């Protein structure tokens, strides 16, 4: 018989819980949320962004999605143009999207230290991420 754990006062069979998770990082119970991360400029959030957020969360039955927003200065430095909306305006728009659990300021290039600081297990890339600015 599989082990059972309590989630919010409800006993959940561990094998049933794992069935709803694509992958459980080493040392984690399947009853803990997987922390996912996506980042970008998000100047005028659009349907493609929202679909990317939804698809990232659908990979896991129990996930926490953190979205990083780049600074105005770094956005201009890397893209050659300033964003239309300020970082605060872009972050405020992202906070209104269902499925986005947390919005953080992020560097253009994320580091292992940044991921550890925010407790991120997986970085999710949108299909358009192959068009990186140079």
Q: What is the pTM of this model?
A: 0.74
Alpha-carbon distance 51 to 29, whole Å? 28
Identify the band that residue 87 occupies on the pLDDT scale cut at 50, 70 and 90.
Answer: very high
> What pLDDT sits at residue 93?
97
> What pLDDT sits at residue 56?
86
Domains of the chain: 40-127 (3.40.50.620)
Q: What is the pLDDT of residues 26-84, one digit of tens each?
A: 666 666 789 999 999 999 999 999 998 998 888 877 899 999 999 999 999 999 999 99
Alpha-carbon distance 29 to 97, whole Å? 28
> What pLDDT sits at residue 19?
40
Looking at the chain, the number of H-run helices and the number of E-run strands are 5, 6
Alpha-carbon distance 117 to 111, whole Å? 10
> What pLDDT sits at residue 7?
36
Model confidence at 124: pLDDT above 70: yes
Q: How far is CA 66 from the centre of its chain?
A: 4
């Amino acid at each position: 018989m599989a082990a059972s754990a309590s989630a919010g006062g409800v006993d959940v069979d561990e094998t049933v819980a794992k069935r709803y998770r694509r992958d459980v990082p080493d040392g984690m119970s399947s009853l803990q949320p997987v922390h996912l991360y996506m980042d970008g400029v998000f100047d005028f959030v659009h349907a493609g962004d929202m679909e990317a957020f939804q698809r990232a969360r659908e990979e896991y039955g129990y996930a926490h999605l953190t979205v990083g927003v780049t600074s105005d200065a770094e956005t201009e430095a890397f893209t050659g143009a300033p964003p239309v909306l300020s970082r605060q305006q872009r972050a405020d728009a992202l906070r209104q999207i269902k499925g986005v659990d947390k919005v953080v300021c992020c560097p253009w290039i994320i580091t292992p230290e940044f991921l550890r600081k925010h407790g991120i297990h997986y970085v999710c890339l949108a299909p358009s991420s192959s068009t990186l600015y140079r």
